[in-house]
């Protein structure tokens, strides 16, 4: 039970936008308290209060020269929180898309997409997909959740002839008959989602 209480306390410390701002600033570089207050546009009292809470949670520490730095534990917590921030930012999408069928290592790395942008514009996405297919030089791996015949057309066949390797994860219902573009069965790999 103590472990769960500790996690609850950690989430409580991360629930304050001011504390997260302090943590992110200290992730970038060390600051003296007054410098940090100016950078974040906080009062010295408020900055001290936030640093005190983060220090008690072992997320930041004071250095001998008087500046504050993020601890290795604080760095790890901040890195892991990028996944939660990404999922939260795109919560409407994730509330209607089940990721449980994806391999856990992919889900575990979802925070790496934190700088990505979500586009729900069909034609823009199709055009971008075709552009990426055409620009591939060595390989292209993709997960396709909807009809993706444009990914299996002449552009792919031409790229495969040039030595580009393609891998697609597609729902079984969307897998076209045959193994891939004509004459490319040996170079085309498709994995099927149930």
pLDDT tens-digit series, residues 138-164:
988 877 776 555 556 677 778 888 888
Tally the residues of the chain.
194
Neighbouring CB atoms inside 10 A of 66's CB total: 9
Q: How far apart are alpha carbons 50 and 74 in whole angstroms? A: 14
Which tokens in the block code for residue 22? 């302090």
Q: Which residues pair with 142 in a beta bridge?
A: 168
pLDDT tens-digit series, residues 83-113:
888 888 889 988 998 888 888 888 888 888 8
What band does 1 get if pLDDT is binned at 50, 70 and 90? very low
Q: How far apart are alpha carbons 89 and 85 in whole angstroms? A: 6
Distance of alpha carbon 147 from its chain centroid, rounded? 25
Task: For residue 194, give the 3-state DSSP assignment.
Answer: coil
Arithmetic mean of pLDDT over the chain: 82
pLDDT tens-digit series, residues 7-51:
888 888 888 899 999 999 999 999 999 999 999 999 999 999 999
**Integer angstrom CA distances of residue 135 from 48, 80, 121, 138, 159:** 51, 32, 21, 9, 9
Cβ-count burial 41-63 (b if 16+ within 10 Å, e if not)? ebeeeebeebbebbeebebbbee
Neighbouring CB atoms inside 10 A of 67's CB total: 15
- Which backbone phi and psi does 102 adopt, to 5 degrees? -75, 150
Domains of the chain, residue spans:
1-118, 122-193
What is the assigned CATH class of domain 1-118?
Answer: mainly alpha
């Amino acid at each position: 039970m103590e472990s769960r209480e500790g996690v609850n306390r950690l989430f409580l410390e991360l629930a304050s936008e001011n504390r997260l701002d302090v943590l992110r600033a200290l992730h970038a570089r060390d600051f003296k308290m007054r410098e940090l207050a100016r950078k974040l546009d906080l009062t010295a009292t408020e900055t001290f209060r936030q640093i005190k809470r983060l220090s008690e949670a072992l997320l930041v520490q004071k250095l001998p020269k008087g500046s504050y730095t993020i601890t290795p534990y604080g760095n790890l917590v901040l890195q892991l929180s990028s996944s939660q921030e990404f999922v939260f930012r795109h919560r409407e999408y994730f509330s209607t898309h089940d990721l449980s069928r994806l391999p856990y290592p992919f889900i575990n790395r979802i925070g790496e997409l934190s700088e990505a942008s979500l586009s729900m514009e069909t034609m823009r996405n199709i055009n971008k997909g075709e552009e990426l297919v055409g620009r591939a030089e060595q390989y292209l791996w993709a997960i396709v959740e909807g009809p993706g015949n444009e990914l299996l057309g002449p552009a792919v066949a031409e790229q495969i002839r040039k030595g580009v390797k393609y891998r697609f994860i597609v729902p079984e219902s969307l897998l076209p008959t045959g193994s891939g573009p004509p004459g490319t069965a040996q170079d085309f790999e498709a994995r099927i989602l149930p």
